Amino acid sequence: MSHFIAQPKQGVPFVSVQAMAKLINKVGIENVLLELTQRLEHDFARWDEFDKSPRYAAHSPDGVIELMPVSDGKMFSCKYVNGHPKNTFKELQTVAAFGILSDVDSGYPVMISEMCLLTALRTAATSALVAKYLAPKHSTTLTLIGNGAQSEFQALAFKAVLGITHIRLYDIDKNASQKAFNNLSNCGLNVTICNSAKEAVQGAHIITTCTADKKNATILTSDMIPQGVHLNAIGGDCPGKTELDSQLLTRANVFVEYEPQTRIEGEIQQMSDTFAVTEFHKVINKQTPGRTSNNELTIFDGVGFASEDFTALVYIKDALVAAGEFELLDLITQQADPRNLFSVLNTEQSNKSVSQEQVA
Amino acid sequence: MSHFIAQPKQGVPFVSVQAMAKLINKVGIENVLLELTQRLEHDFARWDEFDKSPRYAAHSPDGVIELMPVSDGKMFSCKYVNGHPKNTFKELQTVAAFGILSDVDSGYPVMISEMCLLTALRTAATSALVAKYLAPKHSTTLTLIGNGAQSEFQALAFKAVLGITHIRLYDIDKNASQKAFNNLSNCGLNVTICNSAKEAVQGAHIITTCTADKKNATILTSDMIPQGVHLNAIGGDCPGKTELDSQLLTRANVFVEYEPQTRIEGEIQQMSDTFAVTEFHKVINKQTPGRTSNNELTIFDGVGFASEDFTALVYIKDALVAAGEFELLDLITQQADPRNLFSVLNTEQSNKSVSQEQVA
Minimal Cβ distance to A98: which of B64, B331, B354? B331
Catalytic residue among B237, B245, B301, B309: B237
Instruction: Name the DSSP class of A130.
Output: H
Chain B residues touching A56 at Cβ < 8 A: 53, 56, 67, 69
A89 Cβ under 8 Å from any chain B Cβ: no
Q: How far is CA A340 from the centre of its chain?
A: 41
State the count of interchain CB pairs (< 8 A) between A and B: 265
CATH 3.30.1780.10, chain A: domain bounds: 2-117+308-358
User: Cα–Cα distances in Å, from B164 out to A356, B31, B192, B207, B302?
Assistant: 45, 15, 14, 12, 20
The pLDDT of residue A52: 86
Residue A58 to residue B103: CA distance in whole angstroms: 12
Q: How far apart are CA A291 and CA A293, in angstroms?
A: 6
A9·B91 Cβ contact <8 A: yes
Contacting residues of A for B342, CB less than 8 Å apart:
149, 152-153, 183
- Outline where chain A has alpha helix (H): 2-6, 17-27, 29-45, 116-134, 151-162, 174-184, 197-200, 246-251, 259-265, 281-284, 306-323, 343-346
SS (H, E, C) A254-302: EEECCHHHHHHHCHHHHCCCCCCCEECHHHHCCCCCCCCCCCCCEEEEC
Is A6 within 8 Å of chain B by CB? no
pLDDT at B9: 62
Enclosing H/E stretch for A350: none
- Whether the CB of A348 is below 8 Å from some CB of chain B: the reply is yes
More confident residue, A216 or B134: B134
The full DSSP string for B86-127 is GGGGGT--S--EEEEEEETTT--EEEEEE-HHHHHHHHHHHH
Alpha carbons A328 and A48: distance in angstroms, whole number: 33
A122 vs chain B: nearest CA distance in angstroms? 14
For the domain spanning A2-117+308-358, the CATH number is: 3.30.1780.10
Contact B96 A116 (CB under 8 A): no
B346 pLDDT higher than 80: yes
In a 3-state reduction of DSSP, which class is residue A55? coil
The verdict on B354 touching A (C-beta cutoff 8 Å) is yes
Which pLDDT score, from 0 to 100, does residue B54 have? 72
Say if the Cβ atoms of B183 and A349 lie within 8 Å: no
Predicted pLDDT of residue B7: 56
Does A83 sit within 8 Å of B76, measured CB to CB?
no
> What distances in angstroms separate CA A140 from CA A137, A158, B61, B262, one per listed residue?
9, 9, 49, 57
Q: Span B133-304: which CATH code? A: 3.40.50.720
* pLDDT given for residue B5 in this prediction: 42
Q: Provide the residue-wise pLDDT of chain A in tens; the chain has 360 residues.
A: 334 443 556 789 999 999 999 999 999 999 999 999 999 999 999 999 999 877 788 989 989 999 999 999 999 999 999 989 888 788 888 888 999 999 999 999 999 999 999 999 999 999 999 999 999 999 999 999 999 999 999 999 999 999 999 999 999 999 999 999 999 999 999 999 999 999 999 999 999 999 876 677 788 999 999 999 999 999 876 778 788 999 999 999 999 999 998 998 899 999 999 999 999 999 999 999 999 999 999 999 999 999 999 999 999 999 998 888 789 999 999 888 888 999 999 876 544 556 665 443
Which of A237, A245, A301, A309 is catalytic? The answer is: A237
**Confidence (pLDDT) at B92:** 85
ipTM above 0.85, yes or no: yes
CA angle (B172 as vertex; B168, B177 as ends), nearest 5? 45
pLDDT at B347: 74
Q: Which residues pair with A354 in a beta bridge?
A: A329
**Residue numbers in B near A94 (CB within 8 A):** 338
Which part of chain A is CATH 3.40.50.720?
Answer: 131-304
- Picking from A19, A114, A345, the nearest residue to B21 by CB comes out as A345
Task: Tell me whether residue B237 is one of the annotated catalytic residues.
Answer: yes
Mutation for testing the A interface, residue in B173, B332, B334, B349 having most A CBs under 10 Å: B332
Would an 8 Å CB–CB cutoff place A11 in contact with chain B?
A: no
Question: CA-nearest residue of chain B to A155?
Answer: B342
Closest-CA distance, B320 to chain A, in angstroms, reads 14
Determine the Cα–Cα distance for residues A301 and A291; give it in Å rounded to an integer.
15
B266 DSSP assignment: S
Instruction: Let me know the angle formed at the C-alpha of A332 by A330 and A337, rounded to the nearest 5 degrees.
Output: 120
Nearest to B349 by CA among A21, A309, A304: A21
Residue B350 predicted with pLDDT over 50 = no
| Topology at the third CATH level for domain A131-304 | Rossmann fold (3.40.50)
Contact flag A332-B176 (C-beta cutoff 8 Å):
no
Q: Does A80 touch chain B (CB under 8 A)?
A: yes
For the segment B156-172, the average pLDDT, to the nearest whole number, is 98
Residue in A37, A236, A6, A3 with CA at minimum distance from that of residue A128: A37
Residues of A within 8 A of B106 (CB-CB) are 62-63, 82, 84, 87, 90, 92
For every residue of A94-114, DSSP letters joined together read S--EEEEEEETTT--EEEEEE
All CATH 3.40.50.720 domain ranges of chain B, comma separated, are 133-304
Of the candidate ranges A320-334, B167-181, B254-268, B282-296, the one whose mean pLDDT is the lowest:
A320-334
Beta sheet of A75-83, edge-to-edge order: A56-60, A63-71, A75-83, A97-103, A109-114, A12-15, A325-329, A354-358
Q: Average pLDDT, whole number, for chain B?
A: 91
Which residue of B lies nearest to A181 if distances are taken between CA atoms?
Answer: B340
pLDDT at residue B274 tops 90: yes
